[in-house]
Amino acid sequence: MYDFLKTHPLILAPMAGVSDQVYRQLCVEQGASLAFTEMVSAKGLYYGGQKTRDLLQLSPIETQVGVQLFGHEPETMASQAQAVEDMLGDKLAYIDINMGCPARKIVTKGDGASLMSRPDEAAAVVRAVSSAATVPVTVKFRRGYEEGNETAVEFAQLMEESGAAMICVHGRYAQQMYRGSSDRGVIARVKQAVSIPVIGNGDVVDAASYLSLLEETGCDAVMIARGSQGNPWIFAECLAAHEGRPLPEPPTFHQRLAMAKRHARLLSELHGDRIVMMRTHAMHYLHGMPGAATARKMLSSCTTYEDFAFVFDQLDASLAAREEDAC
């Protein structure tokens, strides 16, 4: 795994409703070394749900992908890990087990971050999946489940003992959701406590925060999540920093709108039924732009690619007019 991370230092995190094949393609094009699917329900795969299987579709440029499964039943998790391997073959880099999602609809079913409060069950899941899979099995979790009760170090050691080949640590408690700051100290403490690779995750928004996370924690790679929303260029920026090259110029407003328009087009072509999700993506692309407030109101009623393209083109023309007036 260490050799793998040397050539894959920048990883796109699994994000429900975000990291579909289109989103992954845009981030990989900009320099993401590896991208994760959205988290995939093992139960959904077991029952043959087509929408769940669709989450495993790869973008045209992906040679490898990480798949994150969630669930808490060892046998189901193990059997569906095998099913994912059969489906993706050598394009599957590794299988990650989600033990960090804090969403209520996930934890109330005993999945995601709730497994941190049941370490014996979590260990049983890792043992089962590790025994069934031929690719490396990894685990993503948080600082702890209850706010103020840090359990990440002991949990990481148990995951290693149970067969995890690598772990990813997010520096917030599950009960924090996304409030406050991600604590980097816990990532450093986990790194010192285990012998397997550790990926750091949390609050990476630019090259400076990427480099400081590596330096402060000693982690072996970095996973970027919300910092990439509306900004796939973050991977090009961080990769340049990683390689000691000058940082690229940040994208202009026009480049951001062009990317948003392309994002919408690809979504429409590949996921016609998910095009309304572009509303959320668009909010991120438009952040901080003059005229964005008016555009956001228009986006709320967009239901087709043409609708989104019209809004982006209108805003682009408005920005060009502003620039012309300023000359």
CA 192 to chain centroid, in Å, comes to: 24
H or E segment and range at residue 137: strand 137-144
Strand locations in the chain (E): 10-12, 34-35, 40-41, 65-70, 92-99, 137-144, 166-173, 198-201, 221-224
Instruction: Name every residue whose Cβ is closer than 8 Å to that of residue 86 and which is 6 or more positions away in sequence.
Output: none
Instruction: Classify the phi-psi angles of 71: left when phi > 0, otherwise alpha if psi is within -120 to 50, otherwise beta.
Output: left
Helix axes 278-285, 253-270, angle to 10 degrees: 170
Q: How far is CA 184 from CA 191, 212, 243, 288, in A?
A: 11, 10, 23, 28
Is 288 buried (19+), middle (13-18) or exposed (0-12) by CB count in 10 A? Answer: exposed
In the three-class reduction of DSSP (H, G, I as helix; E, B as strand; rest coil), residue 232 is classed as: coil
Tokens of 311: 């809004």
CB atoms within 10 A of CB 208: 13
Q: Are 119 and 162 in contact (CB under 8 A)?
A: no
Q: Known catalytic residues?
A: 101
Residues in the chain: 327
Q: Are 214 and 221 in contact (CB under 8 A)?
A: no
Rg, Å, the chain Cα set? 20
In 3D space, the residue among 227, 276, 236 whose CA is nearest the CA of residue 255 turns out to be 236
